[in-house]
Amino acid sequence: MKGLTILLLNLCIMQTLLTSSYAQSQNGSIEGTVVERVTQQPLPGVNIIILKTNLGAATNLSGEFIIDNIPIGIYQVEASMIGYQSEIKTEIVVSTNRVIMVNFELNESALELDEEIVVTARYFVKDSDKPVSAKRLTPQEIRSSAGSAEDIFRIIQSMPGVSGAGGKSANLAVRGGSPDENRVLLDNIEIYSPLHFARLGTSMGIISIINPALLQNVDFITGGFPAKYGDKMSSVFELQLKEGNRSKFNTDLNANLGGFGVLLDGPVPGDGTIVFSARRGFFELLTKIMNKPVAPNYWDLVGKATYDFGPKHKLSLVGFYYLDDIERTGTIDDAGSELGRKYDYTQRDDYGSAIGINWRYLFSTQGYLLTTAAFTSNGWKSSIGTEIDHNLNGEDIKENEFYLKSELTYKINDALEIKSGFLFKTIDSEHYTWKAADTTRTGFVFPADTVYFFPETTYKTSVNLQTTFRPFLNLSLTTGLRYDYFKYTKETKFSPRLGLSYRISDKTTFNAAFGYYYQTPAAYQAALHPANEELRSSRSVHYIAGFEYLLNYDTKISVEVYHKEMDNVFSRSDTSKVITNGGSGFARGIEFYMQKKMSNNFVGSFAYTYSVSKRMDENQLTEYYFKFDRPHNITLVSSYNISDKWQVGLKFQYATGSPYTPVVSSEQKNGKWYAVEGAKNSERYPDYHKLDIRIDRRFHFNNWTLSAYLDLWNVYNRANVISYIYNIDENGVIIKESVDDFPLLPIVGINAQF
């Protein structure tokens, strides 16, 4: 009791000290740029207004603006100009002595001569060449979402058509596809593995390698994507890094259960800016609390430097590096981890890096050229065994890529836009793996094996062309064609793409898309067996249609139906390393999504998806539910600003349990008992559901701001099963144990801004 009294007294003293140092009338600033969305040309004379205030500015000849002396608070900022659709940015948090970057891209209005010129604010903006299945998230929506720990991939799990793998994984299964079917780009640079602790070909991955405070926008396309995107069958995920502000340096220090980080952004000599983030993970503390014999740790570094060379040329240097380290001494029961239960030593290092240059050239008032040169390197090293022999199993894998690509965008007139581009990529792989003899739970014996796979450097090349044509004010047609060649498989592929958007009324729009999508085999698949060098690309054909309805100025409803037909899918049995193209399948579903943007201090969304995803490994085998098939998915997300200082949010998720292959009996072989499995994926785990609640509090001081949050995962402590472990005793009795997702888990985070 005495200790509790002392603790309460200390908290009261701390609160008094904090309150006494609050900033009573401190201000911040907002600066940014406004460009035309299609041509990226700067727009002078745009009116920038902070809604419900008398504050504002106009852009200069370079499309730049700055608004100073803004009282601390949460605002909505509008950009408007006659002849363009105005746009509103929500949840702009102005903090003490800080410069906040807010950038706009305005679409030109299509007006007839006798039409009344009315400028209406737009909360929902999309590109004309992405008519279906496209969503955009802002940094504010990312950082304040409950149940995400400020991780962008966990937030995307709330989108329609997306299934997650539970709280322990941030990976994405999109419309019945595998996580390795998703294309991830960071400022036009490909990211091979966007998550920490995610291995080749696996569905795990704990947290994104990108600090969300770095992001300006996040675009996510779940199907029907344009011709410039290739080599993936399910989705495209574009992360756009913000630029540092041009006026002064900002510094952020943040910490939560996942780790500690620092972020810097500001001007540099030579009319440039820089933004840089470094983070160090603390997951080893969490595993100690949970009494696990695992010590995972990570680092990530991400940076961007931008220079303007006159009004037409902009160069940006982008780079990242991450390192994952896991050391385990002792066995562990975990989802799908047979090795974790058989061996008591693991040392694992995963790393990845990239460096690239983007050159944007505004060669005309009607268009621009974006050229990217980049080098990426990824590696995986591990040793798995016993305390006596650490190296019974292991791998040493390296994959390096260099690529050059260029994209041309040209607006011929108000009715016709053209986009074209090319890509040339070299691929250099080295795979060295070794495994001790092993026996599966069904009694199949894998002999000891060593694989050396050092193929010659190969290359991929592609060319794409796309047109967007508006024959009438209410109709937009997008046609595209993509050509790909992969030297290693000696394949040539043509991928037609079509998109349509028809505005039925001011509030209702019909959208549709069709396209062919191919995915080449990865080096780690070819390395498993010499026969796998004969693999060819898998194919998916997308059919999508839907409606969008603007319920009011800040709320939109969308309904989409989709069907994906897949063939030449990579197929492998549990007892063979040989992969074939004998697989096929389909995924179909309907998605309902209601999204309300922040207004009147409230923001929220509701998503429901019904879907079916089935596969067939070979033509003569039985069709089965794919492991990422989850027919019903429901997500409700909301957040409310109680004041400029307090915010509360929640997220509720429900999903049908994933399918799994059960153990139905046991049999004895050579004096030992082994499992007998039932039909593939013939049973399902229990349904998954949980509620997350988050509370945020801001403290404003004379020269800095402190933000703190409490993110409660799985508030009612639901035991969500994500895997079963089967053991068989000496009498052949099957013992079934469950591996559960996180129980009630409180995550505390703080962020100091200077």
Residue 347 pLDDT: 86
* Interatomic CA distance for residues 647 and 67, integer angstroms: 25
Residue 619 pLDDT: 66
Condensed to tens digits (0 to 9), the pLDDT of residues 481-532 reads 999 999 999 999 999 999 999 999 989 999 999 999 999 998 888 888 888 8
pLDDT(548) > 90: yes
Give the DSSP H or E segment for 597.
strand 580-599
pLDDT band at 700 (very low <50, low <70, confident <90, very high): confident
Q: Kindly report the pTM of this predicted structure.
A: 0.89
Condensed to tens digits (0 to 9), the pLDDT of residues 633-673 reads 999 999 999 998 999 999 999 999 999 999 999 998 888 89
The CB density around residue 698, as the number of other CB atoms within 10 Å, is: 22
Residue ranges covered by each domain of the chain: 134-450+468-753
Mean pLDDT of the chain: 87
What one-character DSSP code corresponds to residue 195?
B
Residue-wise DSSP of 234-250:
SEEEEEEEPPPPSSS-E
pLDDT band at 4 (very low <50, low <70, confident <90, very high): very low
* Interatomic CA distance for residues 554 and 318, integer angstroms: 35
pLDDT(13) > 60: no
Provide Rg for the chain, Cα atoms: 27
Residue 288 pLDDT: 66
pLDDT(20) > 90: no
* Interatomic CA distance for residues 301 and 413, integer angstroms: 42
User: 214: helix, coil or strand?
Assistant: helix
In a 13 Å sphere around the CA of 444, the CA atoms on its Cβ side amount to 9
pLDDT(621) > 80: no
> Reduced to 3 DSSP states, what percent helix, strand and coil does the chain have, rounded to the nearest 5?
5, 60, 35
Query: What six digits make up the tokens of 406?
Result: 């260029």
Q: How far is CA 80 from CA 62, 122, 151, 651, in A?
A: 16, 10, 32, 34
Residue 167 pLDDT: 61
Task: Compare 429 and 670 and report the one with higher pLDDT.
Answer: 429
* Interatomic CA distance for residues 649 and 638, integer angstroms: 6
**Range from 110-114, 253-257, 403-407, 500-504 carrying the lowest mean pLDDT:** 110-114
Condensed to tens digits (0 to 9), the pLDDT of residues 129-151 reads 888 889 888 777 777 788 887 88
Residue 330 pLDDT: 64
Question: Considering only CA atoms, which of 385, 404, 383, 409 is closest in space to residue 395?
Answer: 383
Condensed to tens digits (0 to 9), the pLDDT of residues 163-220 reads 875 567 888 899 999 888 999 999 999 998 888 888 655 556 788 899 888 998 899 9
Condensed to tens digits (0 to 9), the pLDDT of residues 573-613 reads 877 888 999 999 999 999 999 999 888 889 999 999 999 99
Condensed to tens digits (0 to 9), the pLDDT of residues 345-403 reads 888 889 999 999 999 999 999 999 999 999 999 998 988 888 888 888 899 999 999 99
Question: Residue 58 forms beta bridges with which residues?
Answer: 47
Classified by CATH at the fold level, domain 134-450+468-753 comes out as Maltoporin; Chain A (2.40.170)
Degrees to nearest 5, angle at CA 379 with 375 and 381: 170
Average pLDDT, integer, range 245-256: 88
